[in-house]
Amino acid sequence: MKKYKYTAYDKMRRRVEGVMNAVDETHLKSELRKKELYLVNCRVIDSVASASTAFKRGRMKRDEFSFFCRQFSIMLQASVPISECLDTLCDLQCSKALKKALLQVNSDVRAGIGLCEAFEKHPNIFPEYFIGMVRTGVEGGRLPETLEDAAFYYEKEQKHRKKISHAISYPILVFSLIVILIALLVLFVVPIFENTFNEMGISDPPVITRVLFDVCRFLKTNALFIAACVFLLAVLIYVFFTSKKTGYYRDVFILKLPMIGNLYSSVIALRFSRGMGVLLKSGVDILEAFDIVASLTCSRYAERVLHTAAMSLERGKSVYDVLNETHLFPVMLLQMVRVGEKSSDIDGALLKSCDFLDGEIEGKIDRAVEFLQPIAIIAAGLFVALIFLAVYIPIIGIMNGI
C-alpha cells in the first residue's frame, strides 16, 4: 500500500484535495469513484508501513501495542474524552517512540484534526491494520469495540509468534552445539593426534586417517578464508531473506520447500484468517479489508496474490472463488469461507478457523522438530564415530604389532 496525495473534482466540478492509501493509481481511481470523485492528478508521498515493518522501525513490541489498544478501549468505554485518553496513555510505561507519536497525535487532535488522520501521520509507529480499525470505529461510532478487537488481534499474534520461537529455539540450540563440537574436534583435537602419530613414526596411516588429517589441515590453514566465505554467504542469505526487492522470490522459494513451505503456507493462512475475521467483525468493507490484510501476512507473494484477489472480488466474484484461485489456502479454510458466505457470517467462520489453524501449525512444528532433531544427533554421532575410527585404527594396529 502507498499513500497518495491527490487532486480530484466532485460532481459539482469543485476541486478536492486529500490523502488516501491505495495499492496503485488504478486502485486510487476506483476508491475515489466510490466517493463520486474524479481523479485529476496524484503523487506518492509515502509508503504505508506494514504491521511487521511498523513494529521494527518503531522498536515496539506487539504486547506493548496490544496493551495500548486495550487501555485506550477501556477508557473510551468509560466515556473519557479522547484527548484525556491520549494524555493518560502518554503517562503509561511505553517506548519512547510510541510516547513521542502519542504526544503528536494528542496535539493534532486538540488542533481539530481527526483521530484517524492524526494516526496516519505516523505510519512507522501505527500499523495500517490499526489505522484501518480506528477509521472503521470512528465512522461506525464504535471506536471502543474496534480497539478491543485490535487488542485481541495483537495479543493472539504475539502468542502465535512466541509459540513458533519457543518451538524452533531448541533445535537451533542443538544444531549450534553440534557445529561447535565438530569445530573443536577438527581444529584442536585431531591435530594433537596427528602430531602424536608423527612422533611415534607412523608414516603410512590408513586411508581414512590420512583423509581426516588432510581435511583438518586444510581447514586449519585456510580458517580465515573459510570464515570470510561463510560470513559473506550468511550476509547474502540475510539480504535475500530480508530485502524488499527479493521478498517476492524469497517467499516463492520458501513455499516450494518441503515441510517448511507447508508450514509457511499455514502461517499465512492463520494471519489472513485472524486479520480478516477481526476486520470484518468490526465493520470494515471487505475490499478494504483485503488490502489491509495483504500486508499482515508478512509475505510479498501473498500480498501480491491478495491484491489480485481483491480486484477479482471487486468484479463480482465470491470470496470463496477468489481465495480458491490463489492456491494459497488450505481446503479447510476454503470450506469454512464457503459456509460463512452462504450463512452471511464470513467473519465468524474465519475466526473459528483460527483455532484449527493454530493447532495445525503447532503440530507441523512439533513434527518438524521430531524429524530434524534425530537426524542432527545421528549425523553428529556418525561424524564423531568417523573421527574415532580414523584415530584409533592406527593405534590398534600398533598395539597388535607389539
The pLDDT confidence band at residue 231, using thresholds 50, 70 and 90, is: very high
Q: What is the pTM of this model?
A: 0.67
Are 305 and 353 members of one domain? yes
**What does the pLDDT read at residue 235?**
92
Are 215 and 310 members of one domain? yes
Are 42 and 60 members of one domain? no
Are 42 and 71 members of one domain? no
The pLDDT confidence band at residue 232, using thresholds 50, 70 and 90, is: very high
Residue with the larger pLDDT of the pair 227 and 10:
227
**Which residues are paired to 65 by β-bridges?**
none
Are 17 and 103 members of one domain? no
Q: Is 291 contained in some domain?
A: yes
First to last CA, the chain: 80
Are 88 and 110 members of one domain? yes
Asked if pLDDT for residue 93 goes beyond 70, the answer is no
User: Average of pLDDT values for 233-239?
Assistant: 89
| Domain end call among 107, 126, 145 | 126
Q: pLDDT tens-digit profile of 249-301?
A: 888 888 888 888 888 888 888 888 888 888 888 777 888 788 778 777 778 88
Are 43 and 85 members of one domain? no
User: Average of pLDDT values for 30-39?
Assistant: 79
Which residue range is the domain that position 280 belongs to?
156-402
Q: Is 132 contained in some domain?
A: no
Question: Can you tell me the distance from the alpha carbon of 299 to that of 296, in angstroms, rounded to the nearest whole number?
Answer: 8
Q: Is 334 contained in some domain?
A: yes
In this structure, are residues 125 and 58 in contact, taking their beta carbons and an 8 Å threshold? Answer: yes
Are 173 and 95 members of one domain? no
CB within 8 A of 85, min separation 6: which ones? 72, 75, 76
Residue with the larger pLDDT of the pair 263 and 373:
263
Are 106 and 255 members of one domain? no
Asked if pLDDT for residue 360 goes beyond 80, the answer is yes
**What does the pLDDT read at residue 46?**
52
Decide: residue 267, CB within 10 A, 0-12 exposed, 13-18 middle, 19+ buried: buried
| Domain end call among 12, 30, 47 | 47
Are 37 and 81 members of one domain? no
Asked if pLDDT for residue 179 goes beyond 70, the answer is yes
Q: Is 277 contained in some domain?
A: yes
Total domains in the fold of the chain? 3
Are 166 and 225 members of one domain? yes
Are 380 and 284 members of one domain? yes
